[in-house]
Chains A and B, each alone.
Chain A
Amino acid sequence: MELCPTIKNILLLDSEGKRIAVKYYSDDWPTNAAKEAFEKAVFTKTQKTNARTEAEITMFDNYIVVYKFVQDLHFFVTGGENENEIILATVLQGFFDAVGLLLRGTEDKKEALENLDLILLCLDEIVDGSIILETDANVIAGKVDSHSMDAGAPLSEQTITQALATAREHLTRSLLK
C-alpha cells in the first residue's frame, strides 16, 4: 500500500476558505473540527499566492499541497511528504479541468453550488479511497455528464409534467442570467 501513490484529500473551497465540496481519504483528520482546521490552515497559507495560470505548491505539517485557483474557486490536492509532487499536480489538473468542462466555462462558486451534484460525482470519479482512479479531465467529465435515460427505460417514465418542469427551469435560469 505504501508504495502506491496516495491522495490524502481533495478540497474545493471558496474565496473565503469555506467548503464547497471536500473529500478526505485519510484518517489523519478524524473529526470535522480537524478537517476544518486543516482547510483553514491551507487556505490562509495559500490565499495570497497567485495560482491562476500554473498550479502552485506548498509544504506544511509534512503534507504536500498543490493548488490552483479560478475566479472564486480554490482547488487543492494533498499528499504525504514523500509523494511525487508531479503526480499530485496531475490529479489536481484533472479535477480542475473536469470541473471547468462540467461547468461549461462559467467557473465560479455560484455555478459550482448549483451543479454540486456534478462536482461530487467528479470527486467520486477521480479518486477511490486514496487510490487515483482517473486523471484525464475529458474522461472524468464524460463519465459524470451522462444525464441521459437508461437505454432500456420505458418512455412512460418520463411524464409530461416532468418534461414541463425541466423546460420551465431552463427558462428561469436563462432569464436570471
Chain B
Amino acid sequence: MAQPFLKKDDDHDDEADYSPFLGIEKGAVLQEARVFNDHQLDPRRCSQVITKLLYLLNQGETFTKVEATEVFFAVTKLFQSRDLGLRRMVYVIIKELSPSADEVIIVTSSLMKDMTSKTDMYRANAIRVLCRITDGTLLTQIERYLKQAIVDKNPVVASAALVSGIHLLQTNPEIVKRWSNEVQEAVQSRAALVQFHALALLHQIRQNDRLAVNKLVSSLTKGSVRSPLAQCLLIRYTSQVIRESASNTQTGDRPFYDFLEGCLRHKAEMVIFEAARAITELNGVTSRELTPAITVLQLFLSSTKPVLRFAAVRTLNKVAMTHPIAVINCNIDMESLISDQNRSIATLAITTLLKTGNESSVDRLMKQITTFMSDIADEFKIVVIEAIRSLCLKFPLKHRSLMNFLSNILREEGGFEYKKAIVDSIVILIRDIPEAKESGLLHLCEFIEDCEFTYLSTQILHFLGIEGPKTSDPSKYIRYIYNRVHLENATVRAGAVSTLAKFGAMVDSLKPRIFVLLRRCLFDTDDEVRDRATLYLNTLGTDGAVVETGEDVKEFLFGSLDIPLVNLERSLKNYEPSEESFDINSVPKEVKIQPLAEKKAPGKKPTGLGGPPPGPPSTIDAYEKLLLSIPEFANFGKLFKSSAPVELTEAETEYAVNVVKHIFDGHVVFQYNCTNTIPEQLLENVTVIVDASEAEEFAEVASKPLRSLPYDSPGQTFVAFEKPEGVPAVGKFSNMLRFIVKEVDPSTGEAEDDGVEDEYQLEELEVVAADYMLKVGVSNFRNAWESMGPDCERVDEYGLGPRENLAEAVNAVINLLGMQPCEGTEVVPSNSRSHTCLLSGVYIGNVKVLVRLQFGIDGPKDVAMKLAVRSEDEAVSDVIHEIVASG
C-alpha cells in the first residue's frame, strides 16, 4: 500500500523511457483516491495520488461531472491533515477542479479557517483559492480579511490578496473598489512584488477616472517605485496619460517625457526597454525625443542575450517604418546581426536595413542577403521579399540588381507561398518600373519552364498575355508560351492558349504564326483547351491573314469582367436552356448588399421587438423579384440599385420603420419596412404620406398600402415616384405614417371591430447622388485606370477642413460617393500623414467611373484632398466633382 508509484519496480530496467506515470490510467487513479477517506491519513501517499490526478488533468484528460465531484468531496477530507506539503497540493487541485457553487460551500469554512491561520503559507494560498472559486455573496463575508491581508506584513499574503483583487475586479467591481485605501497603502510597500500588484490593482480601480490616474502617475513618477515590474507598469500608465493629454496641450514640452527619459538610465533592463519602447511609440515623436531611446536600443543590439537583441531590433524595425533616418546610426550593428544565430533576429535586422538603406548600400546589402537566404525558413524569406520589393520601388535605378536577386531565388527550392511572394513582387516591379519590364518578363518565362505550381503558371501566363504584346519584341515570348501547350496539365494548357490568342490579337504581324499554333491545339485531349482554341480562332478571323484586329475583339479578350463572379454564377445556375441565349447584361452588377438582419441583430435579439423587420429579401435579385411582383411597378424597367435600409425611427419606439430606396432609370420606389411593436394593437391600411415639396424633380405616381400590420410581424408599404429619365435627381422627402389602429385583446388575440385613424411622424429621407452609383469593383485598378485613358479625366483639389484623423476623412468621402474601394485602399494605416484611396463604380446609365483620391493631413488636422476622376463620359466625371463639392 505504501508503494508510491506503481510501476516503479517493473520498469526501471528501461532507464531511458522510465516514467513514474507509465501506464497510468484514470480509473485506477480514481480508485486510489479512496485513500483520502482513510481514518488514518497518510500525507505522502495522498500527495502522490493528487499528483497523479493533476498529471492526468495536465495531459488533457477530463473528468466527468460525477468523477470531479467525487474527487472534490474526497479532497475536502484532507483538510484534517496538517501536513504543509499535502495542504499545498490540496489547494492546487481544488483550483484545477473548479467546483460548482453548491460544492464550494463544503470547503469555504476550511478555507476561511486557513485564511485566518498563523501560518503565512496557509493565509496566502487560502485567499487565492477562495477568491478563485467564490461568488459575490461569500465575498462580503470575507471582505474584512481580504482588506487586512492586503496590508499584511508578509509580502506573499499581501500579493495573494492583491492579485485576487485584480481578478475579482472583473466580476465584483463595487466590492473591490472599497479597498482603495488599503491598496494605496500597499503601493508604498517595501516588497517589490507587493508594490507591483498594488499598483496594478489601484490603476484598475481608478482607470475610468482620468484625473485620478493623472494624479497617481504624477505622484509616483517623482520616484518612490522600487520594483522593476511596477516601474514598467508606471511607464505604461504614463504613456497612456501622455497619449490622452496630447490632444489638449499642443504647445510646449511633452509632459512626463523627462520621466521616460530618466527610466532609460534605470538599472533593470526590462525598465530601460519599456521606456525606450514607450518613447518610440509616442504620438508624433520628434527626432530629438527619439535619440536617447535609439541609443539604448543600439546598445542592446550588441548584447550577448538574444532576448535583448530581439527586443531591440524589433522595436527599431518599427521605428524604421516612420523614422528611417533616426535608425541609420544603428546600421553597422544591424549588419552584424544578419549572421545572428537566431533567425528571427537576423530577419528583423535585414528588413530594418532594407527600410533604412540608401541607394549606395543596396548592392552590398543584397550580397549579404544572398548568403543569408539559403538558411532561413520560408516564412522569414517572405518577409525579406516584401522588404526588397518596397526597396526596389523606392530606388527604381537599382532594379537590375534587385530583379536579378529575385530571379535567382526564384530558381531555388521553396514552397508555394514563398514562390508566390517572389512572383508577385516581380509582377509589381514590372508594372511600376518600365525599365524592368523586359528582363522581368523573361525571368517569369524562365520560371514557368520549370514551375510545379499550376496557379502560378496560369497567373504568369495571363500576365504575359497582357504585358508581352506591348514589348519591343513580342515574338520571343511565343516559344515559352507554346512550350506550355506541350508540357503542362490541362489548366495551364488552356491558360497558354488564351495567352497565345492575346498575342495574336495585339500583334498583327504575329497573327499567321499564332494561327498555326492555335490550330494545333484543336487536337488537344482536353475539352476546355480545344474549346478555347476554337473560340479564339473564330474571334480572330479564320483566314489568319495579317489584318488589324477589331476593337470589339480586343475588348472581348482584354476587357475585365466587370460582373461579380458570385452573381454570374448564380445567374448561370438560374438560366434554363431555351431558344433565348443567356444574356450577360442580365447579371446584376451590384456587389452583395449587407443583409438587413445582420446589421441590426445585436442588442435587439433578446426582445425580438422594437427592431425593424428582420431580413425581408436582402439581395438585389430578391428586391427585384419583389418589385416585379407588384403590378404598379412592373413597367419601371430594370432595377438599377437598391440602397441599404435607412432607419426612419429611433430604436425602441412604438413603430419601427426603415426605408430602402430602389432606383430605376425613370422612377424611384421607396420600400418602407414597418414593424408594429405594441402587442395590444393591430394596424390596418398602413400607408406612408410622402411630402416631396423639397424634391422638385419627383412626382408621386403610385403607392401600395399595407392591408394589415399585426404585432411583431413586419410588412412593407411602397410609394413610387417618377423622375426625369436617366437624370440623377436628388431631393428631400418628409414622411408620415398613416394607419387605422384597432385595439387587440392580448388574451384572445382578437381585434375590436372599430378602429381609429392615426398618424405617426417619421424622419426625413433623402435621395442623394450616391444612390445613383453602383459599387462595382475592378480587379486591377491600375490597368482599368490606364485603359480608361485621360480623355474624360477631371482633377481638382478640395480642403476638407479639420478632421479627427485621415481614416475618418477617407471614410466620409467613400460614403459620400457610394463607390467600391479597390485593393484594400479604404484602410488607412494609423498615424499616416497621407493616403491614396482608389474607388470604382458604375453610374446610372451604365457609365464606368474610377476615382483616385489623394489625401494629405497637415499640422492642425486640416485635411486636403486631390480628386481625380476618370469615366466614360465627361459629364459624369463632372457630376462626381459636384457631389464632392456639395458634400
Contact = CB atoms under 8 A, between A and B. Distances in A.
Which of A116, A149, A169 is the most central at the interface, judged by chain B CB atoms within 10 Å of its CB? A116
A66 to B, nearest CB: 6
A120 B51 contact: yes
Q: Is the interface of A mostly helix, strand, loop or mixed?
A: mixed
Nearest to B5: A114
Contact of B310 (A3, A35, A85): A85
Interface string A53-69: 01111111000001000
Given A55-B306, A58-B344, A162-B44, A149 B240 contact: no
Nearest to B45: A165
B82 A157 contact: yes
Interface string B59-82: 110100000000000000000011
Interface string A113-148: 110110011001000110111110000000110111
Given A57-B342, A113-B19, A149 B229 contact: no
Interface in B41-98: 42-44, 47-48, 50-51, 54-55, 58-60, 62, 81-85, 87-89, 91-92, 95
A176 B12 contact: yes
B121 A143 contact: yes
Contact of A166 (B44, B233, B311): B44
Contacts of A120: 51, 54, 58, 92
A146 B12 contact: no
Contacts of A110: 15, 18-19
Nearest to A124: B92
A150 B84 contact: yes
Interface string A89-130: 110000000000000000001100110110011001000110
A54 B305 contact: yes
Contacts of B21: 113, 116
Interface residues of B, number: 75
A21 interface: yes
A71 interface: no
A151 interface: yes
A1 B91 CA distance: 25
A133 B159 contact: yes
Given A57-B310, A150-B83, A166-B44, A143 B156 contact: yes
Contacts of B163: 128-129, 131, 133
A84 B59 contact: no
B128 A128 contact: yes
B291 interface: no
Contact of A57 (B4, B270, B344): B344
A65 B835 CA distance: 35
B82 A85 contact: no
Nearest to A23: B58
A54 B166 CA distance: 33
B44 A165 contact: yes
A135 B44 CA distance: 28
Nearest to B200: A4
Contacts of A149: 82-84
Interface string B307-350: 11011001000000000000000000000000001101000000
Contacts of B121: 143, 146
Given A50-B341, A128-B128, A131-B166, A114 B2 contact: no
B306 A3 contact: no
B236 A87 contact: no
Contacts of A144: 88
Interface string B834-859: 00000000000000000000000000
A161 interface: yes
B45 to A, nearest CB: 8
B304 interface: yes
Which of A32, A84, A161 is the most central at the interface, judged by chain B CB atoms within 10 Å of its CB? A84
A174 interface: no
A56 B306 CA distance: 6
Contact of B51 (A109, A116, A166): A116
A81 to B, nearest CB: 9
B299 to A, nearest CB: 14
B44 A114 contact: no
Contacts of B44: 162, 165-166
Given A3-B233, A3-B237, A162-B44, A121 B92 contact: yes
Contacts of B62: 32
B166 A4 contact: yes
Contacts of A113: 19-21
Nearest to A72: B16
B425 to A, nearest CB: 23
Given A4-B200, A120-B54, A152-B82, A84 B20 contact: no
Interface string B80-124: 011111011101100100000000000000000000000101000
B420 interface: no
A36 B21 CA distance: 19
Interface of B: 2, 4-5, 12, 15, 18-21, 40, 42-44, 47-48, 50-51, 54-55, 58-60, 62, 81-85, 87-89, 91-92, 95, 119, 121, 128, 132, 156, 159-160, 163-164, 166-167, 170, 193, 196-197, 200, 203-204, 229, 232-233, 236-237, 240, 269-270, 273-274, 277, 304-308, 310-311, 314, 341-342, 344, 379
What 7 A-B pairs are tightest by C-beta distance, nearest first? A32-B60, A150-B82, A153-B82, A86-B270, A85-B311, A165-B2, A89-B307
16 contacts: A1-B204, A54-B304, A54-B305, A57-B307, A86-B270, A86-B307, A86-B311, A87-B229, A90-B270, A121-B88, A124-B92, A146-B88, A153-B83, A161-B2, A162-B43, A168-B2
